[in-house]
Structure 1
Amino acid sequence: MSAVFMAAARRTAVAPRGGAFARIEAADLADAVLRAVCADTGVAATDIDEVMLGNALYGGGNPARVAALRAGLPEEMPASTIDTQCCAGVDAILLAAARIRAGDADVIIAGGLESFSRAPVRAHRPLDATAAPQPYERPPFTPWPSRDPDMIPAAAQLAAEWDIARAAQEAFAVDSHRKALARGPAAGEIVPVAGLASDAFTRRLSAGLCARLPVLAGSASHGVTAATVAVEADAAAAVLLASEAGLRRLHPAGRVIRVIGGARRGGDPERPGVAPIAAAQDAMRRTGVTLPEIALAEIMEAFAVQAMICAQEIGLDPVRVNPGGGALARGHPIGASGAIVAVRLWHELQAAPSGAVALGAIAAAGGLGSAVLLRAEGAP
């Protein structure tokens, strides 16, 4: 089996729904990052075996194929869209890595694309031809309505079960914004699109402002608010993965990062936010990585409480979690969010000591969790 390397990683900025990317289709956002990872590695278009991108809000079709053709990649090259909701960006990377590891491909571009702003309006076709279509906000994620909670009430339930107070969640959110402002994206991490070269939502959030916000779900003492829920957003992100043979045909601009493993796990659909705990533990067990070896972690902050519980139950040192802030400070472009986690890890590992290991983890509706483990190779 071949080793798998991440030779480049790029993303757009994250723009809140209705913001700077409001008129840009998801495939056009992905076009920019596909072109960027190709330029960063000098890869010949004919050397790319496939494009695999996660997406959650498309209305059918295959947006990965649209993005690949938009980016000028060969018509002969296949492209696949992965839909595991929030996990889709990480899952696309894990599935691409598995194909390379198995010897079925040498170079694959993987990642995610999403546009809340341009997502189709959803409606069920009526059973009676004379009736009107029935609009709906989201599809079912389980076959049991009683075990298919909306994500915000599910997060509030986690807060009550783990006894994580509203004030603690708000302090976590304030810190996410603080870290994002202090550190910002790495040089070369973001591909400018529509004049936007930095995450648009990040701000100087205060405890006082958080305290004035109404509770969206849950009790007054443990509920979630707009400050502790990541905003709906638009973005795209991609990484270029290569086998050892494929890597020899590339000219990476940065340090090569090894994909040492990952895992995808299902969990309790009523507690979807905690599914990444088992995925991260499984990934570490499979690869032999121990907690002290993890120098850096990116835990997706769809909700403050969910990220807090995942970091705690995995056993991560809080200082090493989301050092540049997380999705609470950026936004949550569902199908792209996992890929953004991977892109940020790649850039963080550029300056890490040789052998440093990083963990990325994300949850999805329906009780899914995915995790990926990366390791810095050679000198920074």
Structure 2
Amino acid sequence: MSVILAAKRTAVVPRGGAFAALEIEDLGAPVVRALLQQAGIAADQVSELICANALGAGGNPARLVALAAGLPERVAGLTIDRQCAGGLDAILLAHALVDAGLAEVVVAGGVESYSRRPERWRTDPQGGPAQRYEQARFAPWPARDPEMTQAAAALATRLGISRAAQDAWAVASHARARVAAGEIVPLLGVEMDAFARGLRAEVAARAKPITGSITAANAAVAADGAAFVLVVSERIAAGRGLRVIGGVTLGGDPEEPGLVPVAAIASALARAGLRVEDVALAEVMEAYAVQAMACVAGAELDPARVNIGGGALARGHPIGASGAVLAVRLFHELGGGIGLAAIAAAGGLGSALLLQKEGAAAPSRFALTPADISTNVKVGARR
């Protein structure tokens, strides 16, 4: 059984903000160093560093972070790209390595510089000019490969989730926004999430639509940031930290990526022999308010136990790091019992991670009523 012994992240800063000039390793290395210091683990004890990155120029960002953090040169670094789910999947991979006895200390998480992302161009096989594009292909069929905001708008329409309900979720996310002590590694003097300054209902109501019911107020802002956890064996943990008790990544309908975490949550719970009622605290990704609302309703999670310190709507969305941010938040917020982190990703992917902290009090509950997230929404198969 593996254990998360420590968890750290940078603040999440909107693209073009305080972190705009930083390279990927400038974001990730300070977090890794702080992580090891927090856990009392020497750099030469680390076997591997697994890092998710979605927007970089290729290469091996994990290797850059490992070297910049002062890890031994033998740590090769493994970079993965599962888009939004990558940061959580890096932790699941680390868990698998440790659980299999192939490593005892693994750094896992994600890093993203939206500000420094390269421009993307596709060459013309006929010799014409190259064409610039924003979104990579996530399915081989153009008709089943929607742009993410369009997919969110379509989900809201299909499930009957109004713009007013989405705005209310976003406002509540900002109202709850907080950072736990020791969660954030100060970088360039930034110690708080730059975007979590509060969102008033009247401001959300005035936001111009992007597509359908999706607006800048009920969608997470593109951002820069890094988040990592230290996954170790039970021998190294010596009774400290949070046990990783399960997790899964599943594929689903590429046209409707926002709902795939529902199946991932159900599968992770079933594999661990747990019920949804056993979840004491959940961190659910808020790339879009409608996505989080649909997942909470579809998985039948208690909304009072979801994102009690705010979500990505109040922080921002550093794509490759976002799943790891959920795990870091869960590590610092979970007072006792079972914790869940869940996230959707482009192409129809969903990941879920289950953690457990024993012998502590249950987490406090935030007074968010079921009416706030329209739990009468029926989440099912596409019609």
Interval containing the TM-score (normalised by the shorter chain): over 0.9
Equivalent positions of 1:230-241 (< 5 A) are 230-241=220-231
Rounded Cα–Cα distance in structure 1 between residues aligned with 2:339 and 2:57: 34
Match of 1:264 in 2: 249
Aligned to 1:147: 144
Post-superposition shift, 1:245? 2.5
Between the aligned partners of 1:134 and 1:166, the Cα distance in structure 2 is: 34
Residue type of the partner of 1:335?
G
SS at match of 2:184: coil
Aligned-partner Cα distance in 1 for 2:110–2:293: 24
5 Å-filtered alignment, 1:147-166, equals: 147-166=144-163
- Report SS of the residue matched to 1:40: helix
Shift of 1:37: 0.7
Pick aligned residue for 2:205 from 208, 211, 234: 211
- TM-score normalised per structure 2: 0.92
Give the TM-score normalised by the residue count of structure 1.
0.93
Deviates more, 1:14-23 or 1:370-379: 370-379
Please report how far the alpha carbon of residue 99 of structure 1 lies from its aligned counterpart in structure 2 after TM superposition: 0.9
Q: Which sections of structure 2, spanning at least 5 residues, go unmatched?
A: 362-383
Which letter maps to 2:175?
Answer: R
Instruction: State the shift of 1:246 in Å.
Output: 2.9
1:20, 1:194 within 8 Å by CA — same for their partners in 2?
yes
Find 1:323's aligned residue among 276, 293, 308. Answer: 308
Cα pair 2:135 2:147 within 8 Å, conserved: no
1:127 is the counterpart of 2:161: no
Equivalent residue number for residue 194 of structure 1: 188
Letter in 1 for 2:94: A
Question: Which residue in the other structure is 1:377 paired with?
Answer: 358
Amino acid at match of 1:226: A
Instruction: Report sequence identity in percent.
Output: 55
CA distance in 1, matches of 2:214, 2:42: 48
**TM-superposition CA deviations, 1:256-313 (whole Å, max 9, x none):** 1111000100010000011100000000000012122111000000000000010011
Structure 2 residue matching 1:258: 3-state secondary structure: strand
RMSD (Å), alpha carbons: 1.2
Q: Render the CA deviation track for 1:53-81: whole Å, top value 9, x for unaligned.
A: 11100111000100000001000112100
Letter in 1 for 2:305: R
Partner of 1:301: 286
**What's 2:377 paired with?**
none
Per the alignment, residue 115 of structure 2 pairs with 117
Amino acid at match of 1:332: H
**Which residue type is aligned with residue 371 of structure 1?**
A
Number of the residue aligned with 2:86: 88
1:310 equivalent in structure 2: 295
1:379 positional shift:
4.4
Q: What residue identity is the alignment partner of 1:256? A: G
Shift of 1:128: 5.2
Q: How many residue pairs get matched?
A: 361
Gaps of 5+ in 1: none
SS at 2:217's partner residue?
helix
